Structure 1
Amino acid sequence: MRTVIAHARILTNTGFQDDASILLEDGHVVALDADMSDADVFVDFQGDHLVPGFFDIQVNGGGGVLFNDTPDVEGLQAIARAHLANGTTSLLPTLISDTLDVVDAGMRAVEAARDAGETMIAGIHIEGPFLNPKKCGIHDPDRFIPLDDDAIALLTSLRSGRTLVTLAPEMCRPDQVRKLVEAGVTVSLGHTNGRYADAQSALAAGATGFTHLFNAMPQMHSREPGIVGAALESGSAWTSLIVDGHHVDPVMLKLASRLRPADKLILITDAMPNAGTTMKEFTLQGRAIHVADGQCRDANGVLAGAHLTLIDAVRNATHLMDIPIATALAMASANPADFMGLGSAIGRIAPGRRADFVRLTTDFNIADTWQAGAPLASAQNSRRRSSASH
């Protein structure tokens, strides 16, 4: 079935195109500036925005489910549903530091979900347990372990999808980073108390990212740039940011946007089980986490992930980082896709890419999410060609 979306403001590689059209077939984009006569189904967007579906590379949970607690297909499906309604069409379910048995279960669940056709599940993000206890954040430092050959064998065992591993560079050796990268794992640096030299060694070994920049890492000093300095200096590595107005001060966000290439910044949610629900409390590895004032915190006030959706992160970024909406949208779509080596398949509206979209109203509220060329809600302006007036 061939679908034409017309009268849309489409975000392409060159920016927004007004009153544009697009042809879809078999779940993929066939052409821009489509001829409406080619359509079996015609959808009039009436000036609404059509932007790439969001790709969230750090999702701990959603729909009442924490991935660590429910590392199975049903848990992944619940998490995916919670985020799909908010415009996320691809995600990396994320395990915080846990036993290797839980890591193994999570990886096998991702494989099973993908085998079952869950296209939203792009792989897995394993955030720990190879971290520095001095920068544990909400992670349980008692679960931290050294990176060894057995762990590397597990981390490189995913047979379907992408694997992202966050580790502290000072807690492992460069040759171990190199082994992971050579096996196809994307390595990001985070929850680290390392020095600038540690980051440089890991980057030279193939690490390509920094996880939630500014959080759970030492800040810059005049005589020790540290991990933050390495991230801001790098022209090739990607850096993720939690732009919720609580994790990072707006001044620091603006500095990141001015010092880093725009296509190397990634918006993440670091979402917890409360995402997509009205939950005011949940349990994280035995600790009660309270949700209030847009934040998730334990009894000691430690932030535990974020109470955030990617569309909110996009809106926040436009004013907290002082960037155009098109740039912020790319930080939630094209940039994470490129980071994970999926830029030729998702993250952009272009021929050959999967037709995963978000329909935004003229004031940038989500009207609908499209997955593989089909809207999740009934499109009021969609009709069969026989009743369409082209």
Structure 2
Amino acid sequence: MRALTHCTIYTGKAILTHHAVLIDNEIIKDVVPQDLVPADVPTTDLQGHDLTAGFVDLQLYGGKTGFFVRDLSEESLTDMVETHRQDGTVAIVPTLYSTSLQRILKAIEVTKAYIASGKTGVLGLHIEGPFINFVKRGAHSAKEVRVPTQREIQQIINKSEGLLTVMTIAPEIWPEELLQLIQNSSIILSLGHTNATYQQAKSYFANGIHLATHLYNAMRPFESREPGVVTAIWDSPTANASIIVDGYHCDFATVRIAKQLMGERLLLISDATLAKIEPMRFVFEDFTANYDGQRLLNDTSLLAGSAITLLDAVRNCIQHVGIPKDEVFRMASTYPAQHIGVSDRYGKIKAGHSANLVVLDEGQKVVNQVKNGKFIA
């Protein structure tokens, strides 16, 4: 056992000072007042820095070199895990953009194999499209975006059994019987890349869909006569939404407004196509992404994902949006873990949770990390 001392602990519920975190192997044993740490327990002095649960990213496509929908390999997943781990993301849900059924099924197979091998850091798979609205496809392939078929959906359901799976869909383009089929499965549905009306979106949220993909982007916006999907998300108490806070996908003011309206229902994602990269051009099939050092644009000047990590989004929320630090940490760890059902292991500094923690300085720079109970930085 080891005690982490002399730090400000952001537990996911409270902010504690003069306390210590006790770690036993890979698990958090307890959080206790510092003067109650047993004398025979070795201690690590964190020198007054912040200690938070590691971040959980529900939507990202690649790491520094790996791009999962292209590679469909465990090596690609390893690159994603290691790249984002450098910035405090301890668990990811690798994401596919709109692609063929063959690639979707292969991605499920590879993700299952990665997890079964005992490797850590990957929680499941996010299938973003291809069953989305063509007019709201954004940078998604015009060749791949389509209305689902019974054969495709049944195969995805069968193949993904036993794997935590999220699927972003535009339900307004789905045949009713297929929407019922997917809702009766274990797949977590997220409303996104959708041109649904306000009333349609409200109905979907009232009838079992409780998540929305990247608020504001690729969805019918707010208008005075047609409030759109954006307002339906704000206006539905059971609707939670991810948001990309890179300064390009949405203005910081709109993040602040959404936070005021949604509170704990808003969570952070990176939406990283690639991360920790130099300016470059990326091409795979008909997907293009040109990185100028700040943002990724495809050849028609549409945003093609981001090049940030969750830590960049955390900094932006604290420094530019003005959200209190403890709440931002929850947006990057506690809330994502809750919304995909892994809050018994991730998202909090609490007895029984995995010891995957991040030590940050006052400017939210990573000072040190605890991976499965051991320091890695």
Alignment TM-score, normalising by the size of structure 2: 0.94
Mapping of residues 44-123 of structure 1, within 5 Å? 44-123=45-124
Q: CA deviation at 1:123?
A: 0.3
In structure 1, the residue matched to 2:4 is 5
Aligned partners of 2:12 and 2:329 also within 8 Å: no
Count of residues paired in the alignment: 374
Using the alignment, how far apart are the partners of 1:218 and 1:361 within structure 2?
A: 39
Structure 1 CA distance, aligned partners of 2:53 and 2:187? 25
1:185 to 166, 175, 187: 187
1:140 is aligned to: 141
Cα distance 1:238–1:153, how it changes in 2: closer, same or farther (>3 A)?
same
1:293 CA drift (Å): 4.2
Cα displacement string for residues 341-366 of structure 1 (whole angstroms, at most 9, x for unaligned residues): 11122111111111111111233211
d(CA) in 2 for partners of 1:174 and 1:201? 13
Work out the CA distance in 1 between the residues paired with 2:200 and 2:10.
39
Q: Partners of 1:3 and 1:30 in 2: how far apart?
A: 9
Output the CA distance in 1 between the equivalents of 2:59 and 2:320: 21
Aligned to 1:245: 247
Structure-2 separation of matches of 1:83 and 1:186: 23
> Any idea what SS the aligned residue of 2:143 has?
helix
Q: What is the SS of the residue equivalent to 1:349?
A: coil
1:173 is displaced (CA, Å) by 4.2
- The one-letter amino acid paired with 1:135 is K
Distance 2:369 2:184 in 1: 36
Could you give the per-residue CA deviations for residues 98-137 of structure 1, whole angstroms, max 9, x where no partner exists? 0010000111111000011122100000000001110111
Per the alignment, in what secondary structure is the counterpart of residue 17 of structure 2? strand
Instruction: State the distance in 2 between where 1:174 and 1:220 align.
Output: 26
Separation in structure 2 between the aligned mates of residue 148 and residue 366 of structure 1, nearest angstrom: 46
* 1:29 aligned partner: 28
Partner of 1:215: 217
Hey, what does 2:164 align to over in structure 1?
162
Check 1:173–1:28 CA distance in 2 against 1; reply closer, same or farther (3 A cut): farther
Letter in 2 for 1:246: Y
Change (3 A) 1:42 1:160: farther
Contact kept in structure 2, 1:254 and 1:320, CA below 8 Å: no
Cα separation, 1, equivalents of 2:163 and 2:9: 28
Q: Percent identity?
A: 30
AA matched with 1:251: A
- Give distance in 1, aligned partners of 2:224 and 2:309: 35
Shift of residue 326 of structure 1? 0.8
CA distance in 2, matches of 1:174, 1:293: 44
Unmatched segments (≥5 aa) in structure 2? none
Residues 161, 350 of structure 1: alpha-carbon distance in 2 compared, 3 angstrom cutoff: farther
- Distance change in 2, residues 1:39/1:106 (3 Å): farther
Give yes or no for contact 1:267–1:313 (8 Å, CA) kept in 2: yes
Tell me the alpha carbon deviations over residues 227-281 of structure 1, each in whole angstroms, 9 at most, x when there is no partner.
11111111122111000111102222121011112x21111111013x1333522
Q: Which runs of 5+ in 1 are unaligned?
A: 378-390
Distance of 2:25 and 2:255 partners within structure 1: 40
| Counterparts of residues 183-332 of structure 1 (less than 5 Å) | 183-261=185-263, 263-273=264-274, 275-332=275-332
CA RMSD, 1 decimal:
1.7
Alpha-carbon distance, 1:206 to partner? 1.2
**d(CA) in 1 for partners of 2:375, 2:183:** 37
Separation in 1, partners of 2:62, 2:133:
23
* Aligned position for 1:374: 374
The two structures have a TM-score, normalised by structure 1, of: 0.91
Q: How far is the alpha carbon of 1:339 from its aligned partner?
A: 0.6
